[in-house]
Structure 1
Amino acid sequence: MDQIYIEYKETLAALKPRFRRDFIDEIDWEESLLFILGSRGVGKTTLMLQYIKEKFGTSSTALYISMDDLSLSNYTLLDLAKRHAQNGGTHLFVDEIHKYNNWSQELKNIRDKIKELRVVASGSSILDIQKGNADLSRRSVVYTLHGLSFREYLNIELKLNLPIISLTDIVSNHEIIVPQLLEQFKPLQHFATYLKYGYFPFYLEGIKNYHHKLGNVLNVVLEQDMALIEGVDLTKIPKIRKLIYLLSTQVPYQPNITKLAEALETDRITLLNYLNSLQKASVLTLVRLNGKLYTQLTKPDKIFLQNTNLLYLSQSNVNIGTLMETFFANQIG
């Protein structure tokens, strides 16, 4: 355990974030068990480490571990939690929880047997806490972290402190709100860059290789997360890639599921399952009209890529209508 604590302190010391997300303050970190779910690359690890650094400093009462760390292979999650609690630990932060086979049962055991220990677990947005070996839905609180909104992007780039404004306020009070905002910045000056590069915080590492990194993120989601969590056959991944490409190069429309299935050489039910899995993975947004009864096997009324940055993986010039609709669906979704 000593080496685990040493590596944790080194990880914490290396953290030098360039911004702080408001989402940190929205979380009730004192819940017995809470999950932070989200797409790869949205900043779940940074968020947890920032909170640890702010709240605990260098104290060993908190411990951060990542379940994709080979050095933890000789320990069970329950064993790590017990040892941390015996050492005076009060909070355990577990990253990449979906990489650990028996995660749901052991988290249940930790919550039931080590009641004084607070556990925060992060994982893929695909993760369904009701589908593990132990149903944790009544024992935990789930938060979802999204990529950067345009407001957050502007706050980072321009060092502003723009507040959240609801859609209702914008519609009702836009004549007051817009002039106030225009005094601080020119939205269109930064909008195109955000649409292409600004959704994932790793754009701060540089935009030259941004889409290459984004492509790698998408590959990991398809080849690892969907295979591991959703049970998607790896031999079917090329068809799912083709599906994403077809959707990204077409103007959003009411989909013809039969024709789309024919283009992928698959059946209707399989295609609908792919679409729902991709929505869980934060790759797609499936829009359904209010007032209708939907199941997983009901076709959506419209399909968008989850964010505008993904559109640029397959093309350099994106239809402006597609960009605007995708942006709107993402920001209010």
Structure 2
Amino acid sequence: MVIAELQRKTIEQLNPWVMGKELELGIERKNYLTKIDKVVKQRQQILFLLGSRRVGKTMIILQYIDLLLRRGVKATKILFLSLDNTNLSELDLYTLLADQKYQYVFLDEVHRFPKWAHILKSLYDIPGYKTEIIASGSSSKEILDNGAYLTGRSTQIKVSPLTYFEYGQFVLDKTKVDDYLYYGGYPEYVLTKVPGYLNELLRDIIEKDIVRLHPVRNSQILLDVCQMIAKQLGHPGSPNKMSKVLGIDSKTVVNYIEYLREVQLIAPVYQYAQTLNERLYAPKKYYFQDLGMRNSFVGFADMGALVENAVYLKLIHDYGEGNVMYLSRGREGEIDFVVKTVQDKIMLVEAKYIDLRESVMNKLSKLMWKNDYFDQVVRRVVVTNGVDEVVEKGGVKIELIALEKFLCRDGLGNVVT
């Protein structure tokens, strides 16, 4: 295949390991390397790494390339292409990859390349095609909208901002919970703490990942919706009420919330319910996917809500977004999180950022002590500000766990190492 000189030079620059040059790898995110390795070793599907801008997808890819090189894979058998690079916009990608010259191909920002889904499908369908393809994208909408072309041919790994444990690795373990709650988990921001970084990132996300794809007339309204969500973290949101405050129709609010979800700025939490209709039509609660981004809207305020958001992020990391819900029963109260664990067993979790045992107990929802709504409750957990003990009443045990201790444990209660 003949490659234009500009394309050849660009590819050479993107693949420095071929020339024996070392990679700039940053701090290893081992959890994702393990996940990628598991999928790649199965040798069955195209792998997509999905996540918001600057969440670390490209660095994770480079870290995995370094892992392959250390395992003895020849440098010339690994190809990395940044497909949002304008120098590669006319590249004949199918022909380049069809002859299986490469053992591993990494396609960064794949959704920015023309007809990318058709190309990947055609490659996958070549009889005996063995090249491992790992692609990344900051627009989950564009990738998922093209999912029909890749049905049965692809799988996904979501890349999220740093967990509390990862945050500690990035700042050499010299961390306090308050720092994590303040800065959040965007890797570059955690390392540099440059003022205005998150505001610039937010503008990029809105202009390049939302306005480019959706009929948004006024991007300021998107920011206003974000700010309202930031102010009412942990409370069921009503598009109708938001629309009255913002002076727009409720359908527009619903659409804008969906756009913000698509780019992984926010995430919905559904009501725990016995029927699908009740679950879908009950009001949703919303949380931010990054704590620092939330703070960029309302400042480092309302620690109770901020801690609740941190607890949510920990729970979805351990159990997955679809398994984390909430329960509200009017006068009987509300449980912050109802979590489906292994074999559909239930864990109840409340966030009460209080440092006195008596105050924690007084704030607990009555529902935390009941068994009426759940068949198999295996744990009841209350995340506190330093209170650590187990309390019992009427045969029901509740674990009071300090926030830092909670964030440092995995879904089974083991200390993360």
What range describes the TM-score normalised by the shorter chain of this pair?
0.7 to 0.9
Q: 1:288 matched to which residue of 2? A: 270
Q: Deviations over 1:38-71 (max 9, x none)?
A: 1112110000111111203661101000111111
Q: Which residue number corresponds to residue 242 of structure 2? A: 260
Deviations 1:139-197 (A, max 9, x none): 111111111111221233345xxxxxxxxxxxxxxxxxxxxxxxxx9xxx611111111
State, as a whole percentage, how many aligned pairs show the same letter. Answer: 24
* Corresponding residue for residue 172 of structure 1: none
| More divergent stretch after superposition (146-155 vs 110-119) | 110-119
Contact persistence 1:286–1:300 (CA under 8 A) = no
2:34 to 25, 33, 36: 25
What count of residue pairs does the alignment treat as equivalent? 298
Out of 211, 215, 223, the residue aligned to residue 199 of structure 2 is 215
Specify the alignment match of 1:137 in structure 2: 151
> Could you tell me how far 1:276 is from its partner in structure 2?
2.2
Q: Which residue of 2 aligns with 1:167?
A: none
Contact 2:29 2:166 in 1 (8 A): no
State the match for 2:400 in structure 1. Answer: none
The answer to whether the aligner puts 1:41 opposite 2:57 as a matched pair is: no
Structure 1 counterpart of 2:22: 13
1:193 aligns with 2:179: yes
Report 1:1-333 matches (<5 A): 1=3, 2-10=8-16, 13-27=22-36, 28-30=39-41, 31=43, 32-56=45-69, 59-82=75-98, 85=100, 88-113=101-126, 115-124=129-138, 126-127=140-141, 129-132=143-146, 134-158=148-172, 190-209=176-195, 212-228=196-212, 231-291=213-273, 292-293=275-276, 298=281, 300-333=283-316
Q: Distance in 1 between matches of 2:232 and 2:167?
A: 27
- Unpaired runs of 5+ residues, structure 2, are 317-417
Q: Given that residues 38 and 125 in structure 1 are in contact (C-alpha distance below 8 angstroms), is that contact kept between their aligned partners in structure 2?
A: yes
| Partners of 1:77 and 1:265 in 2: CA distance | 47
Amino acid at match of 2:40: W
The AA in structure 1 aligned to 2:177 is F
CA distance in 1, matches of 2:230, 2:181: 14
- Residue 117 of structure 1 aligns with an amino acid whose one-letter code is T
The residue type paired with residue 218 of structure 1 is: L
Amino acid at match of 1:26: K
Query: 1:185-226: per-residue Cα shift (whole Å, max 9, x none)?
Result: 9xxx611111111411113541133xx222222222211112
Distance in structure 2 (CA, Å) of the matches to 1:285 and 1:92: 31
TM-score using structure 2 length: 0.65
The SS at the match of 2:149 is coil
Q: Report the 3-state secondary structure (helix = DSSP H, G, I; strand = E; otherwise coil) of the residue aligned with 1:266.
A: coil
The residue identity in structure 1 corresponding to 2:227 is: Y
The 2-side partners of 1:23 and 1:133 are apart by: 22
Give distance in 1, aligned partners of 2:279 and 2:209. Answer: 19
Write the distance in 1 (CA, Å) between the matches of 2:283 and 2:116. Answer: 32
**Other-structure match for 1:180:** none
- State the structure with more CA Rg: 2
**Contact (CA 8 Å) 2:14, 2:82: kept in 1 or not?**
no
TM-score, with length taken from structure 1: 0.80
Q: In structure 2, what is the Cα distance between the partners aligned to 1:281 and 1:17? A: 24
Q: CA deviation at 1:274?
A: 1.8
Structure with bigger strand share is: 2
Checking the alignment, whether the CA contact within 8 Å between 1:108 and 1:136 is kept in structure 2 is: yes
CA deviation string 1:274-303 (max 9, x = no partner): 212212211112111122525998464312
CA distance in 2, matches of 1:300, 1:138: 33
Measure the CA separation in 2 of the matches of 1:257 and 1:204.
Answer: 33
Tell me the alpha carbon deviations over residues 5-56 of structure 1, each in whole angstroms, 9 at most, x when there is no partner. 4212338734131333322112222434111111112110000111111203
- Larger RCO of the pair (alpha carbons < 8 Å, separation 6+): 1
Shift of 1:247: 1.8
Partner residue, 1:181? none
